[in-house]
Structure 1
Amino acid sequence: MSEGGDKTEEPSQKKLDDARKEGNVWKSKDLSSVVAFAVSMSVVKATWDGFETRIKELFYFAIEHIAHPEAMGLATSQLMFLALQAMFLLCIPVAFSAAVAGSLMEFLQVGALLALKALMPKFDKLNPINGLKNMFGKKQVVELLKSMFKLAVTGYVVWGVMRDSMGIVVATIDGDAALTMSVMGELVYRICQKVILLFVAFAIFDVWWQHKSYMKDQMMSKDDVKKEYKESEGDPHHKAKRKELAHELLESAQMDAVKGADVIVTNPEHVSIALKYDKDKDAAPRIIAKGIEARAASIRELARQYDVPMMRNVPLAHALLRIDVNEEVPEELYDAVAEVLNFVYQLRQKAA
C-alpha cells in the first residue's frame, strides 16, 4: 500500500461528525448493562419484602389446599393468581428500572442522535464472504474472549459464595420455608453484589477498548486528509489564486487612495506610508496605504504624479509600518504625526 493510503492520521472533527450523522458512534454496551443490572438489583432489594410476603402466602395456600383434593380445581386458579401477582410485583419494577437505566446510559454515552441512514438495510451484510470476515474479525474475537472470561469469572464467584455458605444452606433445608427463602434470597443478593463489582471492572475496560477501537477505525490516510481539505476549504491552488487576487485588489485600492493622501512618510527608499486626516470623520490621522521596497517606490511615484508631499522621517516611517491599513495612528505617535502634518499644511498655505 502506498504511503498516501496508509491510515496514519488522527481523524478530523469533520470525519467524526460525518460518522455520527451516519449513526456510527462508539459506546460501551457493558457499561449500560452493568448499570441496568445494578439498578435492577437495587429494586429487587427494595421490593423483596413484598415479594417474600406474596411467596409465603402462595406456599401456605398450596399446603392448606393439598389436604382437600375436592377443592383443588378452584384452588389451582387461585394459586395461579397468587403466583402471577407475586411475579408481577417483582418483575414489572425490575424490568422497568433496568430499561430506564440502560436507556439513560445509552443517552449519556451517545447523546441525542437520529441517524436515518443507520436504519437503512445494508445489502453487503447479506454477502456470506463478508459475514465470515466479520465473524473472525478482531472485534468479534475480542468480544468472544470477553464473554468467555466474564462467564468463567461469574461461575467462579457463584461457586465461591455457594461454597462459603453451604453450611448455612444445609442447616436451613429442614427449617421453616420462610427462613429458607430469606437465606436463599440473601445468598443470591451477595452473589449479585460480587458480580456487579466484577462487571464494573469489565465495563471500565470496555469503555477504553470501544473508544480506542472506534478512533482506530476512523483513522485517515494522507490522501483522505487532502481530499477533506479540498472539500471543506477548497483546492489549495485555487485558494492561493483567490488570495493573490484579493491581495491585488487590495493593493489597487490602496494605490488609488494614495492620490488623496495628505503626506507620504518615507525612510526614504525602502518604506512609504500614506497618511490622511479627515477632521470631520476621523479622531486621528489614518494610514490609507503602505508598502516596502518596490511597492514603496510605486507609492512615491504616484505621489509625484499627483503632487502629494513626501517627507523623510525614518523612525516614524518604521513605527507606522507596524500599523494596519485603514487603522488610525496610535496615541503615542500623535506628536510626531502632528508635526509632519503641520509642516505639510504650512507648505500648502505658502503655495496658496
Structure 2
Amino acid sequence: MTPEQQSQQERTEQATPKRLSEARKKGQAAKSMDLTAAVGFLGMVAVLAFTAERLINVSLNYIVVSLSDLSAVTELNYSFSHLLVHGVSIFAAMVWPLLAAALVLGAIANIMQVGFLWSGDPLKPEFSRLDPLEGLGRMMSTRALFDLAKALGKLLAVGFAAYLGLRGEMQNLLLAGYSEGAGSFALVGRVLYGVALRVGVTYLVIGVIDFLYQRHEFRQNMMMTRQEVKEEHKQMEGDPQVKARQRERQRLLATGRMFAAIPTATVVVTNPTHYAVALRYEREGSSGAPQVVAKGCDYLAQRIKARAAECGIPLVENSTLARSLYQQSEVGQEIPVALYRAVAEILAEIFSRQRRLI
C-alpha cells in the first residue's frame, strides 16, 4: 500500500468549513471543465441555428463579389489585398456572436459550479514540476493513466455521436455536390448543424457526469483525519487542556484573593453545612450596600467559616439568606436590593452586640 493510499484510508472525517474555505482561497473547488465547454459549445450551436441562413447568404455574396472583382480588376495585388480585408471583416462579423455566446454561457456554467471564485494561487509557478524525474513519475502514475482513459473515453463518445449524425446524411452530402450554390450550402449547413447538436448534447451529458465525479473526488480529497480535526479545533478555540488549566489557575487566583479579603468582612452568613457568604459593610463614610467579599459551597464554605473564626469575624446561621446570597450575588459586588432588609437586621444585631461589649 502506497503512503497516499494509507493516508487516504486514515481520512475518515468530513472536511470542516475552515478547510473548505482555505481550499477555496487557493482556487480549489469542484468543477468540470467539460461541462463548461459543453455549455459554451451548445450556446454556439443555438446562435448558429438562428443565424445560419444569414451566414450562408453573406458567404455566397462574398464569393460572387470576389469573383466579379477579380475578373474586373487588372491590378491583382490590390484586388487580393482588398478581398482579404473584406473577407476578414465578414468572417469576424460572422464569428463574434458565436464566440460571445460561448464565453457568456461558459462563464455562467462556471459560476453555477463554483460561484464567483478568483485566486492567484493556481497561477503561481511550481518549480518542482520542472523536475524531469517527478514529471516522468506523474506521467506514469495511476492518476495520469486514469485521466488518459477518461480523455479517450470522451473522445470515443463524441466521435461516435458525430458518426451517428453523419451516417444517415451521407447520401444527402453526396447529392449536395450536384445542387445549386444556395441549395448546396443549405443542405451542408443543415447536416453540420444536426451533427453539432448531437455532439453538443453528448458532450453535455459527459460534462454532467464529469462534474458529479469531480465533486465526489473533491470531497474525498478534502476529507481529514481525526488528528487534523482536533488540531484545527485547537487553533480556532484553543487547546481544551490548556483552557482547563487556565480556568483552574484563574479559579485559584480568585480563591486566594477571596480568602485574603475575609479578614475585612463584617459578618459571615452561613447555613450549617452548605453555604457561607462573607459580607463587608462600612458604617462610616459609606453610602453603599453591603458587599460580598467571599462565598463558597460545601468544602469551600467550611474553609471560609474556619478562616472567619480565626479572624474573629461573627458567624450568623441563616440557611435561607445564605442560600439566596450565594445564588444571587457575586464576589466583589453589592448584595441584591431584595436582600437589604434581611442583611440589615443581621448587621444591626452584630453592631448592637459590639456596642454592648464596649
Find the counterpart in structure 2 of residue 298 from structure 1: 303
Query: Please, which of 172, 177, 185 is the counterpart of residue 181 of structure 2?
Result: 177
Deviates more, 1:52-61 or 1:185-194: 185-194
Find the counterpart in structure 1 of residue 272 from structure 2: 268
1:41 corresponds to 2:13: no
Q: 1:45 to 1:266 in 2, by over 3 A?
A: farther
Q: 1:349 to 1:49 in 2, by over 3 A?
A: farther
Pairing of 1:219-234 with structure 2 (within 5 A):
219-228=223-232
Pairing of 1:187-206 with structure 2 (within 5 A):
187-206=191-210
Taking the aligned partners of 1:4 and 1:95, their CA distance within structure 2 comes to 42
1:207 deviates by 2.4
Given residue 189 of structure 2, which amino acid in structure 1 is its aligned partner?
A: G
Find the counterpart in structure 1 of residue 128 from structure 2: 124
Taking the aligned partners of 1:330 and 1:140, their CA distance within structure 2 comes to 74
SS at match of 2:12: strand
Given residue 143 of structure 1, which amino acid in structure 2 is its aligned partner?
A: D
Find the counterpart in structure 1 of residue 57 from structure 2: 53
1:344 corresponds to 2:346: yes
Deviates more, 1:73-82 or 1:89-98: 73-82
Query: Please, which of 309, 313, 319 is the counterpart of residue 307 of structure 1?
Result: 313
Find the counterpart in structure 1 of residue 253 from structure 2: 249
Taking the aligned partners of 1:162 and 1:4, their CA distance within structure 2 comes to 46
1:31 corresponds to 2:42: no
1:169 deviates by 4.2
Find the counterpart in structure 2 of residue 156 from structure 1: 160
SS at match of 2:313: coil
Given residue 313 of structure 2, which amino acid in structure 1 is its aligned partner?
A: D
Find the counterpart in structure 2 of residue 113 from structure 1: 118
Aligned length: 343
Q: 1:32 to 1:5 in 2, by over 3 A?
A: closer
Asked if structure 1 preserves the Cα contact closer than 8 Å seen for 2:158 and 2:203, the reply is no
Q: 1:340 to 1:301 in 2, by over 3 A?
A: farther
Q: Percent identity?
A: 23
1:88 deviates by 0.8
Given residue 213 of structure 1, which amino acid in structure 2 is its aligned partner?
A: E
Any idea what the Cα deviations from partners look like across 1:148-180, whole Å, max 9, x if unmatched?
Answer: 222222222222222344455455443332233
User: TM-score normalised to the size of structure 2?
Assistant: 0.73
1:330 deviates by 9.0
1:266 deviates by 4.0
Q: 1:253 to 1:31 in 2, by over 3 A?
A: farther
Given residue 274 of structure 2, which amino acid in structure 1 is its aligned partner?
A: H
1:274 deviates by 5.5
Deviates more, 1:263-272 or 1:2-11: 2-11
Any idea what the Cα deviations from partners look like across 1:277-296, whole Å, max 9, x if unmatched?
Answer: 999779xx987754322212
1:270 deviates by 2.6
Q: 1:350 to 1:85 in 2, by over 3 A?
A: same
Any idea what the Cα deviations from partners look like across 1:38-94, whole Å, max 9, x if unmatched?
Answer: 33333434444442232011232355568x497593654454344323321122333
Taking the aligned partners of 2:295 and 2:334, their CA distance within structure 1 comes to 13
Given residue 212 of structure 1, which amino acid in structure 2 is its aligned partner?
A: H
User: TM-score normalised to the size of structure 1?
Assistant: 0.74
Find the counterpart in structure 2 of residue 10 from structure 1: 14
Asked if structure 2 preserves the Cα contact closer than 8 Å seen for 1:4 and 1:223, the reply is no
Asked if structure 1 preserves the Cα contact closer than 8 Å seen for 2:31 and 2:214, the reply is yes
Asked if structure 2 preserves the Cα contact closer than 8 Å seen for 1:30 and 1:206, the reply is yes
Structure 1 gap segments, 5+ residues each: none
